């Protein structure tokens, strides 16, 4: 489930909502091609200290009016950069500590096999949908990127355990 977090940056409060898994993967693919901050920052709301109103930062005017430090010392671009970093960490920070599952050598192959996926789409999301672990709608609306990776890891370990069992059974059958 997508988390919500409030952060205090330079005297202002911002409420961040995690991107959906589908949006986060799209952002990951786009990140290598440019520096458009809007898709990530548009998930943030500026919380007005006087009346508690939340203003979504989904356009340049809202960002220009609300992303600044309280005492007007820092350049707004630096405040925006800090906000972007906080949002990025909130959505993608878990990837730094994520440990890859090691596949035993006896379950790997030297064959060069091309894994196909829908062009421009994440193979992880495609696997979750194909295996019935999540629907496209759930990945677009409900699950965060962290949720998607967690579900994928559970599925991968289940498949790895099944492969180990099959390998042991085949080995046993050859002996007997």
The pLDDT score that the predictor gives to residue 117 is 67
Q: What's the whole-number average pLDDT of the chain?
A: 90
Determine how β-strand 4-9 pairs with β-strand 12-17: antiparallel
Parts of the chain with a pLDDT under 70: 30-35, 113, 115, 117-120, 176
| Cβ-Cβ contacts under 8 Å for 26 (sequence gap 6 or more) | 39
Distance CA 176, CA 78 (A): 70
28 touches 82 (CB < 8 A)? no
The pLDDT score that the predictor gives to residue 71 is 92
Dihedral (CA of 72, 78, 79, 80) sign: positive
């Amino acid at each position: 489930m997508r988390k919500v977090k409030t952060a205090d940056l330079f005297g202002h409060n911002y409420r961040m909502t995690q991107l959906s898994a589908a949006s986060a993967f799209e952002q990951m693919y786009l990140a290598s091609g440019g520096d458009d901050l809007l898709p990530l920052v548009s998930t943030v709301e500026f919380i007005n200290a006087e009346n508690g109103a939340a203003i979504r930062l989904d356009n340049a005017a809202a960002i220009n009016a609300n992303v600044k430090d309280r005492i007007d010392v820092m350049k707004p671009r630096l405040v925006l950069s800090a906000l972007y970093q906080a949002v990025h960490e909130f959505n993608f920070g878990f990837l730094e500590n994520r440990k890859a599952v090691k596949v035993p050598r006896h379950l790997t192959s030297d064959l060069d096999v091309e894994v196909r996926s829908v062009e421009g789409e994440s193979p992880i999301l495609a696997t979750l949908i194909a295996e019935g672990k999540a629907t496209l709608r759930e990945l677009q609306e409900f699950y965060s990127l962290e949720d998607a990776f967690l579900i994928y890891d559970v599925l991968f370990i289940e498949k790895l355990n099944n492969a180990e069992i099959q390998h042991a059974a085949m080995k046993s059958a050859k002996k007997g």
